[in-house]
Each structure stands twice: as C-alpha cells, then as structure tokens.
Amino acid sequence: MDALGWLIFLVALVVSVMLHETGHFVTAKRFGMKATQYFFGFGPTLWSFQRGETEYGVKAIPAGGFVKIVGMTSLDEVDPEDEPRSFRRAPGWQRLIVLAAGSFMHFLFAAVLIFGLALGIGVENECTSAKSPAQLAGLQVGDRVTAFDGTSVSTFTQLSSDISKVKPGVPVTLTVLRNGQSLTLRTALANVPGHGSFLGISTTSAKTTQISTVTTCVPVSEQALTGTVFQPESPLGAIEYVGTSFSQVITGSVSAIGQIPAAIPHLFAGNRSSTAAGNVSSVVGAAEATGQAVAADESWQYKVSFVLELIAELNIFWGVLNLLPLLPLDGGHIAVVIWERIRGWFARVRGRPDPGLFDYRKLIPLSFSVFAVIVVFSLLLVVADIVNPVNFG
C-alpha cells in the first residue's frame, strides 16, 4: 500500500508538470507562436515523435518538463522566416498570458480537485452547525450533575443510561451543583445517527458526574463521537471551500517560502519536525507522506481526501512559486515583459521611440545564481527527506 501511495503521487506529479507545460503550449499555439518541442523531463531523449512542427516526447531525467517556443528572449537565435511567429514579437499582453498560463493550470487543477473532493467525498468535519443540548442548557465544566429528569444520579454510567432511555427531541431537566448552589437547567436531547440521544458532556471517570468537557456541537454520526466524518457540500458550499482552501494554502505557501532561510540550518536536526524545516519538503517527502496515508489504518474517505488535498496544495504552491519575479521562473519573465511595457510607455510619453526588447544579457548572472540556488536547495531537501524525514503523523 505504501508503494501504491508513491505510485499515485508520481502519476499526479507527472500530470501536474505536463498540465503546466500544456498551459504554455496551448496559449502559445493559440496566439500563433511557433512551439517546436513539448517534452517531459530533461537531458537525452528517450522517446519522441513528430506531429506538424512540434516534437513530443520524454527525456531521460524526470525532473520537470518544458515547451520550446522560438524566440523566448532577445538572446535566442531564430530563423528569419520564423521571426514573425516568435514569442518576442508577440504583443505584451499575449506574452503575459502565455507565461502565466503554467501557473493558471496548476491553480485550475487544484480547484477541480478541491471542488470534486468537497462535492463528492465531503469536507472532514465532526459535527453539524447545531449547538449541543449541553451548551444550550448552559452546563459548564466543573458542574456536578445530581439529577436527570427528576431522578437522582451519582455516576456517569447511570447518567448515560438514563439519557439513552429518553427519545431525541424530548425536553429534559438537569439538576447540577455549581459553586455550592443547586441549579435546575432545561434542554432537549439531540439525535446522533447510529447512536441515539445525545446530551454533550463527558467526565474524567465513569464513577463521577462532575463535568470535564461540554461539547459545543452535535456530532453528525456515531463515528464522529470518537473521530471525524466527511460531509458532502452543496455546489455553492464546494465553491466556497475552494476559495477558503486557496486562501489558506497561498498564505501558507508565502509563509513557507519566507521560512526557507531559517529552515536550512535545521534540515538535518533531530527535531526537524518542530522547526521551520518541518514546513518545507521535497517531492520525496511529499511522496512519502502520500505512501503513509494510503497505507494507514484509516477510512477510504480519509485516504482519498488526504491525497487529493496534498496534490492540490502542492499545485497551488508550485503555481505561486512560479510567479515569483525571479529568473528563470515564469514570474521573472513576466517581470521583464512588464518592465518592457512600462519602459515603452515612458518613451512614448517623452516622444521617443520604443526601446524594444530588454537585453537579457544583463540578467544572465542573476538568472544563473537563482537557478543554482534552486537546484542546490532542491537537492538538499531531497537528501534531508531521505536521511531525516519529517514526521507527518
């Protein structure tokens, strides 16, 4: 089962990568740009075929994918006949759409997964929105129940037995001792499917009626009394859940990216899980988490929910990461196009000719440095996830 989890994650990873590249590829084709290659992986070609002007295939190193669009930068050499269809000759708004399409596909894939999860399997929850009878009655932690519906009780076992004999919805009275004073409280028992009548209190021992916990809501099933359940959402509720999930994951992604400098020193620490390094992981760590979830002694709903949410969260993270204004990420190219348009606008305002394409040679050192940092940190994460994995619980 653990191996099955790894396989599921790897398939999802391939799908995610190729959806990203498909976003670039489809929009480039739509705008008439010439795309000569569409590949999964890097390095030597293992297999490929030619269809039209594009070569499709698989490379030897499965570390991503790419689409080659002619004339991506001012440095690319392009045949004169292909120059009109090059990326760099397209209007700025078209180039921005092509560049952002990769992250858009990540976001779209994540939204579809989260929406389907909420609508089909449901959102993990423990109870309905209804307040528990105990909360409605005003019971408090520390109260000692002395009588239920006029009958004296001295143990929780006796109290539970009396509760089970009353039908849900029937009004009841509880006599409690609070701060030395006797109070009479009134409520109506709720119904928990598969369990029956429900009040919503617990004690530290079956031999006492002193309340240790007051439940705030009504469980949706007997299973929820000891665990969690999954409640399918309506289409509108599923859409709202997508929005909430995106907000939480984007906030978490930005936080995780910001914690990377603090995480590096703790990647190989014994307490990694409790440090900033516990919030960052490589694809190896994510695959291991998927394997653990699939192999866990949990319900199928939990397993499917965990896997789908993990894949969705990773796609949102990758989408956000790719939009960072750093070369060679898509966001870096987007920043260059925006700067070209701003520079061109200022030139027109001043009555001067458009300065044209930005000289990428000025950014080669920065681009190479960022690429090197990404590669080194990614390899460091992989090694850390192998020798000092995060405990996902």
- Shared-domain flag, residues 175 and 93: no
Question: pLDDT tens digits for 150-187?
Answer: 999 999 999 999 999 999 999 999 999 999 999 999 99
Q: What is the pLDDT of residue 224?
A: 72
For residues 24 and 212, the model is more confident at: 24
Instruction: Assign 256 a pLDDT band (cuts: 50, 70, 90).
Output: confident
- Shared-domain flag, residues 324 and 203: no
Catalytic residue among 21, 126, 233, 309: 21
Instruction: Assign 2 a pLDDT band (cuts: 50, 70, 90).
Output: confident
Q: Mean of the pLDDT values across residues 13-24?
A: 95
The verdict on residue 373 lying in a domain is: yes
- Shared-domain flag, residues 211 and 90: no
Question: pLDDT tens digits for 350-393?
Answer: 999 988 888 888 888 888 998 898 889 889 988 988 988 876 55
User: Maximum Cα–Cα distance for the chain, whole Å?
Assistant: 96
List the CATH number of the domain containing 135.
Answer: 2.30.42.10
Q: What is the pLDDT of residue 121?
A: 85
How is residue 238 written in tokens? 């599923």
Tell whether the model's pLDDT for residue 6 goes beyond 60.
Answer: yes
Average pLDDT of the chain is 89
The verdict on residue 51 lying in a domain is: no
Domains: count for the chain: 2
The verdict on residue 254 lying in a domain is: yes
Burial of residue 329 (CB within 10 Å: 0-12, 13-18, 19+) is: buried
Q: What is the pLDDT of residue 356?
A: 86
Q: Which of 227, 261, 284 is the last residue of a domain?
A: 227
- Shared-domain flag, residues 165 and 208: yes
The verdict on residue 48 lying in a domain is: no
Question: Which stretch of 72-76, 174-178, 186-190, 255-259 has the lowest confidence by average pLDDT?
Answer: 255-259
Backbone angles phi, psi at 146, to 5 degrees: -105, -20
For residues 114 and 229, the model is more confident at: 114
The verdict on residue 248 lying in a domain is: yes
Q: What is the pLDDT of residue 148?
A: 95
Q: Mean of the pLDDT values across residues 240-257?
A: 88
Q: Mean of the pLDDT values across residues 237-258?
A: 89
Measured over the CA atoms of residue 162, residue 165, residue 168 and residue 171, the dihedral's sign is negative
- Shared-domain flag, residues 254 and 310: yes
With beta carbons less than 8 A apart as the criterion, state whether 222 and 249 touch: no
Q: What is the pLDDT of residue 55?
A: 96
Tell whether the model's pLDDT for residue 227 goes beyond 70.
Answer: no
Q: What is the pLDDT of residue 229?
A: 64
The verdict on residue 385 lying in a domain is: yes
Question: pLDDT tens digits for 292-333?
Answer: 888 887 778 888 888 999 999 999 999 999 999 998 899 999
Question: pLDDT tens digits for 123-148?
Answer: 877 777 788 899 999 999 999 999 99
Which helix (H) or strand (E) is 15 found in, with range?
Answer: helix 2-30
Q: What is the pLDDT of residue 372?
A: 92
Q: Which of 181, 207, 227 is the last residue of a domain?
A: 227
- Shared-domain flag, residues 287 and 367: yes
Which helix (H) or strand (E) is 26 found in, with range?
Answer: helix 2-30
Question: Which stretch of 105-109, 172-176, 243-247, 297-301 has the lowest confidence by average pLDDT?
Answer: 297-301
Burial of residue 314 (CB within 10 Å: 0-12, 13-18, 19+) is: buried
Q: DSSP assignment of 320-335, as one string?
A: HHHTSS-TTSHHHHHH
How far apart, in whole angstroms, are the C-alpha atoms of residue 316 and residue 322? Answer: 10
With beta carbons less than 8 A apart as the criterion, state whether 281 and 253 touch: no
For residues 19 and 366, the model is more confident at: 19
Tell whether the model's pLDDT for residue 1 goes beyond 60.
Answer: no
Domain enclosing residue 347, as ranges: 1-34+70-123+232-393
Q: What is the pLDDT of residue 234?
A: 86
The verdict on residue 119 lying in a domain is: yes
The residue with tokens 């070609």 is 45
The verdict on residue 292 lying in a domain is: yes
- Shared-domain flag, residues 96 and 243: yes
Q: What is the pLDDT of residue 391?
A: 67
- Shared-domain flag, residues 13 and 114: yes
- Shared-domain flag, residues 118 and 8: yes
- Shared-domain flag, residues 118 and 138: no
Please say if 21 is a catalytic residue: yes
For residues 47 and 265, the model is more confident at: 47
Let me know how long the chain is.
Answer: 393
Tell whether the model's pLDDT for residue 228 goes beyond 70.
Answer: no
Question: pLDDT tens digits for 54-64?
Answer: 999 999 988 78
Percent of the residues in the chain that have a pLDDT greater than 70, as a whole number: 98
- Shared-domain flag, residues 216 and 264: no
- Shared-domain flag, residues 115 and 132: no
Q: Which of 167, 193, 227 is the last residue of a domain?
A: 227
Backbone angles phi, psi at 125, to 5 degrees: -150, 160
Instruction: Assign 226 a pLDDT band (cuts: 50, 70, 90).
Output: low
